[in-house]
């Protein structure tokens, strides 16, 4: 789904003033480079921890020639402001999900597909193999002029319900909450369920009143929203592993000394591999918390039928975008 955004003139003016006065500007001298990195996530979020760890690595490995100041918790603006600020060069590095890039390249919509990854190992194989996602990286270099520095993510989404789901057949004819988005509604239908469009803030009541029997969600959202108070079963389908990209203004990157570029990319790869593993490990901890706090029953249905039903939709979307060969090669989906 395309994410539209519009930057307020005042925000751009403020960013421009900061850039001129040097608050946001990078020092591009041969002796020292200071990068400004930003995220909307809070300080203890794994995306912020990735940036902080990267900042530590580059400073240490460059003997202080390359430093990075990290601004978490939307200190420099919301996601739209951070994205636009990075494109304009007022911010050097930002951590964002793929939906923002669909504004320039609709092909990025494929990265939001259900069961794009068969499982966690498939996810790590694709994310951590150098050059595997070069098709998307080249698109960002072309427009809007961004260099991909790292990937992070691995948070999973599962199905929460009022009844046990032991197989895909258990979904047949059941009503489940869906965003009012064709891709998700088609997915529920492919699984045999009836998608019911319901706003996110109404999910709790919809389950409580029996309007729907459940929803697909991340584990942390289930905990934060208390959904398990009204739905006592979770099927660990892992139908989505989220992707987040650390992207940098390409002019800033290209103006860096090649040695510092190498230090940045090598350090980013180390941070990426560490925090993808940490994100996946956190899912097990959150699941244990969910069971302990709400006495949720966790089931582990065979995901092969879910994958088979879902990946046909991925292929259909790829054909629509004209990138079926790209998707087949990168994600091994035929």
176-213: pLDDT as tens digits: 999 999 999 999 999 999 999 999 999 999 999 999 99
42 and 81: one domain? yes
Q: Is residue 190 part of a domain?
A: yes
Tell me, what CATH number does 247's domain have?
Answer: 3.40.190.170
Query: For residues 80 and 5, is the Cβ–Cβ distance under 8 A?
Result: yes
Q: Which of 298, 285, 292, 244 is nearest to 100 (CA)?
A: 244
In this structure, the number of other CB atoms found within 10 A of the CB of residue 225 comes to 15
Q: What is the pLDDT at residue 16?
A: 46
43 and 128: one domain? yes
Task: Enter the DSSP assignment of 296.
Answer: P
302 and 221: one domain? yes
Q: CA 148: distance to chain centroid?
A: 14
Q: Is the pLDDT of residue 136 over 50?
A: yes
Q: What is the pLDDT of residues 259-301, one digit of tens each?
A: 999 999 999 999 999 999 999 999 999 999 999 999 999 999 9
The pLDDT > 90 percentage for the chain reads 90
Q: What is the pLDDT at residue 6?
A: 41
233 and 246: one domain? no
Q: What is the pLDDT at residue 31?
A: 54
Q: Is the pLDDT of residue 20 over 90?
A: no
Query: In whole angstroms, what is the distance from residue 108 CA to residue 9 CA?
Result: 27
- Higher pLDDT residue, 314 or 16? 314
88 and 208: one domain? no
Q: What is the pLDDT at residue 24?
A: 42
Q: What is the pLDDT at residue 274?
A: 98
Mean pLDDT for all residues in the chain: 92
Q: Is residue 140 part of a domain?
A: yes
Q: What is the pLDDT of residues 98-131, one digit of tens each?
A: 999 999 999 999 999 999 999 999 999 999 999 9
Q: What is the pLDDT of residues 294-309, one digit of tens each?
A: 999 999 999 999 999 9
Q: What is the pLDDT of residues 142-188, one digit of tens each?
A: 999 999 999 999 999 999 999 999 999 999 999 999 999 999 999 99
231 and 95: one domain? no
63 and 143: one domain? yes
194 and 228: one domain? yes
183 and 225: one domain? yes
Averaged pLDDT, 56-65: 98
Q: Is residue 18 part of a domain?
A: yes
Q: What is the pLDDT at residue 10?
A: 37
Q: What is the pLDDT at residue 30?
A: 52
Query: For residues 174 and 235, is the Cβ–Cβ distance under 8 A?
Result: no
Averaged pLDDT, 204-231: 97
Q: What is the pLDDT at residue 14?
A: 42
Residues 53-65, buried b or exposed e (16+ Cβ, 10 A)? bbbebbbebbeeb
Q: Which domain holds residue 312?
A: 158-239+290-331
Query: For residues 168 and 192, is the Cβ–Cβ distance under 8 A?
Result: yes
Averaged pLDDT, 249-260: 98
103 and 225: one domain? no
**Phi, psi angle pair for 153, to nearest 5°:** 145, -155
What six digits make up the tokens of 91?
A: 């911010």
Q: Is residue 2 part of a domain?
A: no
Q: Is the pLDDT of residue 95 over 80?
A: yes
pTM for this model (two decimals): 0.87
Query: In whole angstroms, what is the distance from residue 176 CA to residue 206 CA?
Result: 10
Query: For residues 78 and 228, is the Cβ–Cβ distance under 8 A?
Result: no
Query: For residues 296 and 227, is the Cβ–Cβ distance under 8 A?
Result: no
Query: For residues 154 and 273, is the Cβ–Cβ distance under 8 A?
Result: no
- How far is the first Cα of the chain from the last one, in angstroms, to the nearest whole number? 23
108 and 209: one domain? no
Residue 48, C-beta contacts closer than 8 angstroms, at least 6 positions apart: 39, 41, 42, 70, 72, 73, 95
Q: What is the pLDDT at residue 52?
A: 99
Query: For residues 231 and 160, is the Cβ–Cβ distance under 8 A?
Result: yes
Q: Is residue 3 part of a domain?
A: no
Q: Which of 282, 122, 126, 301 is nearest to 218 (CA)?
A: 282
Averaged pLDDT, 231-257: 98
Q: Is residue 252 part of a domain?
A: yes
29 and 17: one domain? yes
Query: For residues 162 and 207, is the Cβ–Cβ distance under 8 A?
Result: yes
Domain count, the chain: 2
Query: In whole angstroms, what is the distance from residue 95 CA to residue 146 CA?
Result: 12
């Amino acid at each position: 789904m395309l994410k539209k955004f519009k930057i307020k003139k005042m925000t751009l003016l403020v960013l421009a003033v900061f850039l001129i006065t040097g608050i946001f500007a990078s020092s591009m001298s041969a002796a020292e480079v200071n990068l400004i990195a930003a995220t909307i996530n809070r300080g203890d979020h794994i995306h912020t921890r990735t940036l902080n760890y990267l900042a530590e690595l580059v400073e240490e490995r460059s003997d202080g020639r390359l430093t990075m100041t990290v601004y978490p918790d939307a200190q420099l603006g919301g996601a739209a402001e951070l994205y636009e600020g990075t494109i304009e060069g007022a911010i050097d590095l930002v951590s964002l999900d793929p939906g923002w890039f669909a504004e320039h390249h609709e092909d990025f919509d494929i990265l939001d597909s259900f069961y794009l990854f068969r499982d966690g190992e498939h996810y790590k194989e694709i994310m951590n193999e150098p050059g595997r996602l070069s098709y998307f990286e080249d698109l960002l270099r072309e427009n809007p002029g961004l260099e991909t520095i790292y990937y992070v993510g691995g948070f999973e989404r599962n199905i929460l319900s009022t009844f046990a789901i032991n197989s895909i057949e258990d979904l047949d004819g059941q009503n489940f909450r869906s965003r009012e988005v064709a891709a998700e509604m088609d997915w529920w239908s492919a699984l045999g369920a009836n998608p019911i469009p319901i706003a996110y803030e109404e999910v709790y009541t919809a389950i409580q009143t029996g309007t729907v029997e459940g929803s697909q969600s991340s584990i942390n959202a289930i905990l934060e929203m208390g959904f398990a108070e009204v739905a006592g079963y979770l099927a660990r389908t892992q139908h989505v592993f989220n992707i987040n990209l650390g992207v940098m203004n390409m002019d800033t990157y290209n103006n860096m000394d090649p040695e510092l570029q190498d230090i940045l990319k090598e350090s980013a790869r180390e941070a990426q591999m560490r925090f993808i593993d940490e994100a996946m490990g956190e899912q097990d901890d959150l699941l244990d918390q969910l069971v302990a706090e709400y006495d949720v029953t966790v089931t582990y249905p065979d995901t092969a039928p879910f994958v088979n039903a879902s990946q046909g939709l991925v292929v259909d979307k790829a054909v629509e975008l004209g990138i079926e060969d790209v998707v087949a090669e990168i994600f091994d989906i035929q």
